[in-house]
């Protein structure tokens, strides 16, 4: 196919391969997905200038991605990966996100971002509030207040080692290490 | 640590620091700082505490570890901590021995390593690009000679690995199916489909082994000796094979024959009876087929066992971790509860519900525990009697099922002795016991599941009890079948004749058993397919299109994982038992498992809605393997018994004319050189075996003690950790109070003596 549009320059592709856990094919597929979200904003060829870091899709468009649509944490995930915490993502950030959620990414970095996702108020600790927010999202608000408090306080009690009533990153890491489910569920297949 | 190394650390640290977060700070000011120059914020002191310092150190170390073991991490995530440490040390030594030139210049290899590390940093893409550009533009020290070659090799290796992964992703069987199923049903159910795939490949491997070492030699080489008996009507002992081969008269291919495994199919390589008992001869080599036949069987059974153990061991590790994780029940519910793979609306809804249900159940279980403590004796007694009664009934049902199978089998054998000319009638008679088994397998589990509801178990143990009973039922029905084979085969006739009219023993009983297993396997799969497509599919349609209550109850179905697992494991048990008697059974099973995958996929995606019980991937994996291990023993023990105790049939197969298959092995063993026999006998003798046994027991006991001590140590350390946490809290409070005091005093001094301050 001679007249095929060059989506990325060779250099860009090499950069992406070096900076993410994705293969060449994955990157191209993700670009297609990104473009399909808003064909009028995203150009077909990403080679020009710095399209990849300036063209921004709003949060409400991103969450329409089929792989993300049903995820209850979708908004929070986008916020974590966007530079300004608004949830609007450029292609670079979008690619970053899917790289972390790919099967190739090691545990450490997944735990790092998981912590960020669950830390809703950005205070570097997962407190009672954060836990309750996560629980509310998970159960679609079906637990009553008493049950919710019970579960939150129990969860914090389980993991809180230094007795400050909230989970630091190390405590979170410690808990996640013992939850074998985490690694098998914390990924999105593209 | 050399300069290059240090520089690397700093640049890496920068990456993590930019990610922000107090928890990633590289270095903290030490104790030499005096209080005067510290910021006024008391929280700042939190970073000075020894525990925090340790934490910073651990983060740093773990980062280095990831770096040095990068090569391996890519392939093997479950890195052992001690090997990591070792690796770092090696790396340090390696770096320290480098020439001085490299002190300020990173060499090519380290640059490349850093480049590979960029992707593991938690920073955004533009920063990653910057770091990459910086690395590329920085002066590097070129490697020479062997090192250059080694680096090139490493780069090439890395490249090939990526290519291989890409290729594998492209050709991986059913990849798209897995994604769809995972998107709809979550990781627990997809583990079951991986399990089917695994079994299919296991059977494929077994097939390859059998074809290479048994089938191909038989087809390629001729028999060595000529036929001892020429006349057809000779009924002496030597002519048994002749009689058997002459019974293969009607060799046309009919569908009935294919289903029943007799007629034409009986005379092919499919069954035991076809294989000759002699040493095969070729221009180049002689091939001892009987020996190869039994050796192959032993090898593929061992191989299956090893494969299972290997798979179970990894699951076991997860399980151990999880058993410690029961302290973190609620945490893993909140943090690990959601399945990020789910991308289907209805299953997302069900997942929400399932998580809600699980949390409720856990709270319920706790309440129940409380209740149990308060429950009075009368109620306790009542539940006890209900359980005893229902367990008794379950056992009775199992016994009844066993008897039914046994008598149906007897009846079918008896009727088939008479001449039945009608093909269909014959087919029905042939299949009667198996129809009975399959029917019982379908009906009785439902009854047992109903019992469990009455017994008032906690939700998790209810699932387990029901599953356990179904396993017992299935395997015991298989056991009864094997027992009825045995009662038929055991009957010994006059050693001088081929068969006697008193026994109903078939001429070639091994082939007969092979045929029976073949029939059961085919029927099992067919019934599975029939129920999926002819019963459950219309049920689903009914429930989907008629919105009345009755059809909803009748038609709604969940994907019950344990039941489907049992179906598959049952087939595999049949294959293990039967493949000695029908060597191509694994080949058939490979094809059947391929079909089963699609049948189950249909049952899963089209017929059922996701279950409201949460199946965890790690838990289900170890469940599959434990059931498979149990069924493996159920298959192998009777097989081993027949190998050593029963007389092989005189008219067919590689072992005709021997007392047992075992006798061949003994003969072979005796043909070894005398020193091998001597060594072996030494190993088995009591003077050697008894001490070994004792040593084994002692070492086992030692490890038991060690693990117990470790457990205690873990508990002590946990308590200590908590205590130190409290200490820290206490100290922080004291410290902030002190600082406040200090500041106030300072202020007071300043206000009293302002000119002093300007100096």
Rounded Cα distance between B671 and A187, Å, is 59
Rounded Cα distance between A170 and A79, Å, is 22
**What is the mean pLDDT of the segment spanning B453-475?**
77
Does residue B212 have a pLDDT over 60? yes
- Alpha helices (H) along B674-685: 674-684
Rounded Cα distance between B652 and A96, Å, is 67
Does residue B24 have a pLDDT over 70? no
Read off the pLDDT band of B304 (50, 70, 90).
very high
Select from B119, B124, B336 the Cβ nearest to the Cβ of A182.
B336
The pair of three-digit structure tokens given for residue B723, joined into one six-digit string: 């205590």
Q: Are B540 and B607 in contact (CB under 8 A)?
A: yes
Residue B3, Cβ density class (10 Å: 0-12 exposed, 13-18 middle, ≥19 buried): middle
Picking from B480, B479, B445, the residue whose alpha carbon sits closest to that of residue B465 is B445
pLDDT > 90: percent of chain B: 11
CA distance A2 to chain B (A): 24
Rounded Cα distance between B7 and B327, Å, is 42
- Alpha helices (H) along B375-508: 377-417, 423-454, 459-490
A140/B contact by beta carbon, under 8 A? yes
Kindly determine whether residue A134 and residue B342, on different chains, have CB atoms separated by under 8 Å.
no
Cα–Cα distance list, B556 to B181, B459, B543, B657 (Å): 19, 21, 6, 58
Find residue B280's DSSP bridge partners: B223, B287
**Model pLDDT, residue B6:** 43
Cα–Cα distance list, B137 to A12, B134, B447 (Å): 17, 5, 74
pLDDT > 70: percent of chain B: 75
Select from A106, A140, A175 the Cβ nearest to the Cβ of B73.
A106
Rounded Cα distance between B84 and B69, Å, is 7
Rounded Cα distance between A184 and B400, Å, is 43
Can you say how many angstroms the Cα of residue B555 is from the centroid of all Cα atoms in its chain? 33
**Model pLDDT, residue B9:** 42
CA torsion, ordered B363, B365, B369, B372, to nearest 10 deg: 120
**Model pLDDT, residue B228:** 55
A144/B contact by beta carbon, under 8 A? no
pTM of this structure: 0.74
**Model pLDDT, residue B299:** 93
Lowest-pLDDT range, B236-250, B306-320, B712-726? B236-250
CA distance B724 to chain A (A): 7
Helix (H) or strand (E) holding B142: none
Does residue A189 have a pLDDT over 90? no
Does residue B15 have a pLDDT over 60? no
Tell me the pLDDT tens digit for each residue of A42-65. 877 777 767 777 788 888 888 888
Kindly determine whether residue A134 and residue B722, on different chains, have CB atoms separated by under 8 Å.
no
Read off the pLDDT band of B486 (50, 70, 90).
confident
**Model pLDDT, residue B23:** 43
Picking from B478, B654, B480, B436, the residue whose alpha carbon sits closest to that of residue B575 is B478
The pair of three-digit structure tokens given for residue B329, joined into one six-digit string: 């029940």
Which range of A10-19, B293-302, B320-329, B487-496 scores highest in mean pLDDT? It is B293-302
Does residue B421 have a pLDDT over 90? no
**Which chain A residues contact residue B176 at CB under 8 A?**
none
Rounded Cα distance between B221 and B286, Å, is 9
Q: Give me the DSSP letters along B158-189.
A: HHHHHHHHHHHHHH-TTHHHHHHHHHHH-HHH
Which range of A47-56, B325-334, B392-401, B544-553 scores highest in mean pLDDT? It is B392-401
Cα–Cα distance list, B636 to B157, B229, B632, B657, B716 (Å): 43, 37, 6, 24, 46
Query: Strand (E) positions, B79-212?
Result: 106-107, 140-141
| The total number of residues written for chain B in this structure | 759
**Model pLDDT, residue B25:** 38
What is the DSSP secondary structure assignment for residue A168, as one 8-state letter? -
Domain ranges of chain B: 1-90+672-759, 108-171, 176-671
Tokens 């069954």 label which residue? B271
Does residue B705 have a pLDDT over 90? yes
Tokens 């189950």 label which residue? B600
**Which chain A residues contact residue B363 at CB under 8 A?**
147, 150-151
A120/B contact by beta carbon, under 8 A? no
| Beta carbons within 8 Å of B754's beta carbon, 6+ residues apart | none
What are residue A48's phi and psi, to 5 degrees?
-65, 130
Choice between B342 and B579, residue whose per-residue pLDDT is larger? B579
**What is the mean pLDDT of the segment spanning A90-117?**
86
Select from A18, A142, A182 the Cβ nearest to the Cβ of B356.
A142
CA distance A39 to chain B (A): 22
Does residue B250 have a pLDDT over 90? no
Q: Are B121 and B16 in contact (CB under 8 A)?
A: yes
What is the DSSP secondary structure assignment for residue B266, as one 8-state letter? G
Which ipTM value was assigned to this complex?
A: 0.84
Picking from B89, B93, B95, B55, the residue whose alpha carbon sits closest to that of residue B69 is B89
Kindly determine whether residue B77 and residue A66, on different chains, have CB atoms separated by under 8 Å.
no
B121: nearest CA partner in chain A: A109
| The total number of residues written for chain A in this structure | 190
A112/B contact by beta carbon, under 8 A? yes
**Model pLDDT, residue B327:** 63
A10/B contact by beta carbon, under 8 A? no
Choice between B694 and B39, residue whose per-residue pLDDT is larger? B694
B118/A contact by beta carbon, under 8 A? yes
**Model pLDDT, residue B237:** 57
**Model pLDDT, residue B48:** 52
Does residue A37 have a pLDDT over 80? yes
Kindly determine whether residue B341 and residue A72, on different chains, have CB atoms separated by under 8 Å.
no
Angle of CA points A139, A142, A143, to nearest 5°: 95
Kindly determine whether residue A83 and residue B119, on different chains, have CB atoms separated by under 8 Å.
no
Rounded Cα distance between B749 and B730, Å, is 29
3-state secondary structure of B701: helix
Q: At what angle do helices B3-18 and B50-68 cross, to 10 degrees?
A: 110
Tell me the pLDDT tens digit for each residue of B632-664. 998 899 888 888 888 887 777 788 777 888 888
**Model pLDDT, residue B672:** 85
**What is the mean pLDDT of the segment spanning B3-9?**
42
Does residue B273 have a pLDDT over 70? yes
The terminus-to-terminus CA distance of chain B in angstroms comes to: 43
Read off the pLDDT band of B499 (50, 70, 90).
low
Tell me the pLDDT tens digit for each residue of B587-614. 999 999 999 999 999 988 888 877 766 6
3-state secondary structure of A165: coil
Kindly determine whether residue A154 and residue B330, on different chains, have CB atoms separated by under 8 Å.
yes
Tell me the pLDDT tens digit for each residue of B52-94. 444 444 444 444 344 433 433 333 333 333 333 444 444 443 4
Kindly determine whether residue A178 and residue B332, on different chains, have CB atoms separated by under 8 Å.
yes
Tokens 């945490």 label which residue? B331
Q: Are B186 and B342 in contact (CB under 8 A)?
A: yes
**Model pLDDT, residue A4:** 59
Choice between B222 and B154, residue whose per-residue pLDDT is larger? B154
Query: In chain A, helix, strand, coil percent, each to 5?
Result: 55, 5, 40
Test the A interface: residue of B125, B159, B332 with most A CBs within 10 Å = B125
Kindly determine whether residue B132 and residue A69, on different chains, have CB atoms separated by under 8 Å.
no
Q: Give the number of other Cβ atoms within 10 Å of residue B553's Cβ.
A: 9
| Beta carbons within 8 Å of B369's beta carbon, 6+ residues apart | none
**Model pLDDT, residue B302:** 94
The terminus-to-terminus CA distance of chain A in angstroms comes to: 25
Looking at chain B from residue 540 to 569, which residues have their Cβ under 8 Å from any Cβ of chain A? none
Does residue B14 have a pLDDT over 60? no
**What is the mean pLDDT of the segment spanning B265-275?**
81
pLDDT > 90: percent of chain A: 0
**Model pLDDT, residue B748:** 86
**Model pLDDT, residue B203:** 95
**What is the mean pLDDT of the segment spanning B169-182?**
80
Read off the pLDDT band of B616 (50, 70, 90).
low
**Which chain B residues contact residue A96 at CB under 8 A?**
124-125
Rounded Cα distance between A181 and B318, Å, is 9
Looking at chain B from residue 304 to 323, which residues have their Cβ under 8 Å from any Cβ of chain A? 318-319, 321-322
Q: Give me the DSSP letters along B481-545.
A: HHHHHHHHHH----TTSS--SS----SSHHHHHHHHHHHHHHHHHHHHHHIIIIIIHHHHHHHHH
Kindly determine whether residue B342 and residue A70, on different chains, have CB atoms separated by under 8 Å.
yes
Picking from A94, A79, A102, A86, the residue whose alpha carbon sits closest to that of residue A190 is A102
Q: Are A68 and A77 in contact (CB under 8 A)?
A: yes
Which range of B223-227, B264-268, B358-362, B690-694 scores highest in mean pLDDT? It is B690-694
**Model pLDDT, residue B77:** 37
Query: How many CB pairs lie under 8 A apart between chains A and B?
Result: 201
**Model pLDDT, residue B218:** 84
**Model pLDDT, residue B235:** 52
Q: What is the CA radius of gyration of chain B?
A: 35
Helix (H) or strand (E) holding B317: helix B289-325
Angle of CA points A145, A151, A155, to nearest 5°: 145
Kindly determine whether residue A158 and residue B345, on different chains, have CB atoms separated by under 8 Å.
no
Tell me the pLDDT tens digit for each residue of B424-447. 787 888 788 888 888 888 888 888
Residue B51, Cβ density class (10 Å: 0-12 exposed, 13-18 middle, ≥19 buried): middle
Q: What is the mean pLDDT of chain B?
A: 75
């Amino acid at each position: 196919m001679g007249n095929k549009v060059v989506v990325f320059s060779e250099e860009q592709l090499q950069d992406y391969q070096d900076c993410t856990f994705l293969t060449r094919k994955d990157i191209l597929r993700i670009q297609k997905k990104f473009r399909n979200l808003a064909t009028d904003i995203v150009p077909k060829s990403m080679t020009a200038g710095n399209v990849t870091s300036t063209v921004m899709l709003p949060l409400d468009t991103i969450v329409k991605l089929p792989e993300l649509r049903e995820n209850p944490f979708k908004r929070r995930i986008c916020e974590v990966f966007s530079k300004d915490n608004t949830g609007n993502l450029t292609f670079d950030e979008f690619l970053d996100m899917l790289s972390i959620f790919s099967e190739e990414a090691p545990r450490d970095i997944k735990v790092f971002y998981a912590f960020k996702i669950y830390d809703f108020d950005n205070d570097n600790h997962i407190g009672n509030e954060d836990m309750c927010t996560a629980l509310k999202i998970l159960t679609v608000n079906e637990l009553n207040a008493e049950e919710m408090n019970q579960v939150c306080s129990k969860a914090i009690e389980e993991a809180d080692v230094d007795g400050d009533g909230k989970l630091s990153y190390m405590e979170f890491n410690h808990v996640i290490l013992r939850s074998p489910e985490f690694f098998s569920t914390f990924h999105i297949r593209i | 640590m050399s300069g290059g190394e240090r520089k690397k650390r700093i640049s890496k640290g920068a990456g993590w620091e930019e990610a922000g977060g107090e928890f990633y700070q590289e270095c903290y000011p030490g104790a030499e700082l005096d209080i005067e120059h510290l910021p006024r914020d008391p929280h700042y002191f939190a970073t000075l505490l020894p525990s925090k310092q340790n934490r910073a150190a651990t983060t740093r170390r773990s980062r280095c570890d990831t770096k040095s073991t990068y090569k391996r991490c890519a392939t093997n995530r479950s890195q052992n901590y001690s090997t990591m440490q070792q690796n770092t040390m090696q790396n340090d030594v390696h770096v320290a021995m480098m020439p001085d030139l490299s002190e300020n210049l990173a060499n090519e290899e380290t640059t490349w390593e850093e480049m590979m590390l960029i992707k593991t940093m938690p920073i955004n893409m533009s920063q990653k690009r910057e770091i990459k550009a910086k690395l590329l533009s920085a002066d590097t020290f070129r490697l020479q000679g062997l090192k250059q070659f080694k680096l090139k090799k490493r780069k090439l290796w890395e490249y090939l690995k990526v290519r291989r992964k890409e290729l594998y992703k492209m050709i991986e069987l059913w990849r798209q199916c897995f994604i769809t199923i995972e998107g709809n049903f979550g990781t627990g159910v997809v583990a079951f489909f991986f399990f089917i795939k695994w079994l299919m490949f296991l059977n494929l491997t077994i097939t390859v082994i059998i074809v290479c070492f048994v089938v191909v030699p038989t087809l390629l080489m001729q028999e060595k000796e000529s036929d001892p008996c020429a006349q057809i009507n000779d009924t002496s002992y030597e002519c048994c094979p002749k009689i058997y081969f002459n019974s293969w008269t009607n060799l046309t291919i009919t569908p009935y024959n294919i289903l029943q495994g007799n007629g034409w199919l009986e005379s092919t390589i499919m069954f035991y009876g076809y294989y000759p008992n002699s040493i095969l001869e070729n221009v180049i080599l002689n091939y001892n087929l009987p020996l190869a036949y039994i050796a192959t069987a032993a090898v593929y059974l061992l191989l299956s066992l090893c494969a299972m153990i290997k798979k179970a061991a990894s699951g076991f590790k997860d399980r151990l971790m999880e058993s410690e994780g029961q302290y973190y029940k609620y945490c893993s519910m909140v943090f690990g509860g959601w399945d990020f793979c789910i991308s289907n609306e209805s299953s997302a809804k069900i997942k929400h519900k399932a998580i809600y249900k699980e949390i409720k159940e856990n709270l319920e279980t706790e309440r129940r525990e409380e209740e149990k403590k308060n429950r009075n004796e009368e109620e306790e007694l009542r539940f006890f009697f209900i359980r005893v009664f229902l367990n008794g009934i379950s056992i009775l049902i199992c016994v009844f099922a066993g008897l039914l199978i046994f008598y149906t089998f007897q009846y079918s054998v008896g009727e088939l002795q008479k001449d039945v000319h009608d093909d269909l009638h014959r087919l029905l008679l042939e299949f009667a016991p198996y129809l009975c088994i399959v029917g019982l397998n379908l009906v009785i589990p439902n009854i047992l599941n109903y019992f469990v509801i009455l017994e008032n178990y906690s939700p998790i143990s209810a699932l387990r009890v029901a599953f356990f009973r179904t396993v017992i039922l299935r395997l015991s029905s298989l056991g009864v079948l094997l027992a009825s084979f045995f009662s038929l085969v055991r009957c010994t006739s006059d050693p001088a004749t081929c068969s006697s009219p008193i026994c109903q023993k078939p001429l070639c009983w091994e082939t007969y058993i092979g045929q029976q297993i073949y029939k059961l396997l085919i029927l099992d799969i067919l019934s599975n397919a029939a129920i999926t497509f002819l019963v459950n599919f219309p049920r689903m349609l009914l429930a989907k299109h008629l919105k009345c209550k009755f059809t909803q109850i009748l038609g709604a179905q969940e994907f019950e994982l344990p039941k489907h697992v049992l179906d598959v494991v049952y087939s595999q048990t049949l294959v293990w038992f039967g493949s000695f008697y029908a060597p191509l059974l694994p080949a058939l099973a490979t094809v059947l498992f391929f079909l089963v995958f699609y049948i189950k996929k249909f049952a899963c995606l089209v017929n059922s809605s996701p279950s409201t019980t949460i199946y965890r991937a790690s838990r289900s994996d170890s469940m599959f393997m434990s059931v498979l291990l149990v069924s493996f023993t159920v298959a192998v023990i009777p097989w081993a018994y027949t190998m050593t105790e029963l007389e092989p049939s005189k008219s067919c197969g590689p072992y005709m004319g021997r007392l047992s298959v075992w006798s061949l092995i003994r003969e072979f063993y005796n043909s070894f050189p005398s020193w091998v026999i001597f060594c072996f006998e030494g190993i088995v003798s009591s003077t050697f075996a008894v001490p070994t046994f004792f040593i084994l027991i002692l070492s086992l006991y030692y490890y038991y003690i060690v693990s117990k001590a470790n457990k205690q140590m873990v508990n002590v350390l946990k308590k200590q950790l908590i205590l130190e946490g409290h200490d820290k809290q206490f100290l922080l409070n004291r410290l902030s109070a002190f600082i406040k005091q200090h500041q106030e005093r300072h202020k007071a001094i300043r206000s009293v003596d302002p000119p002093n301050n300007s100096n």
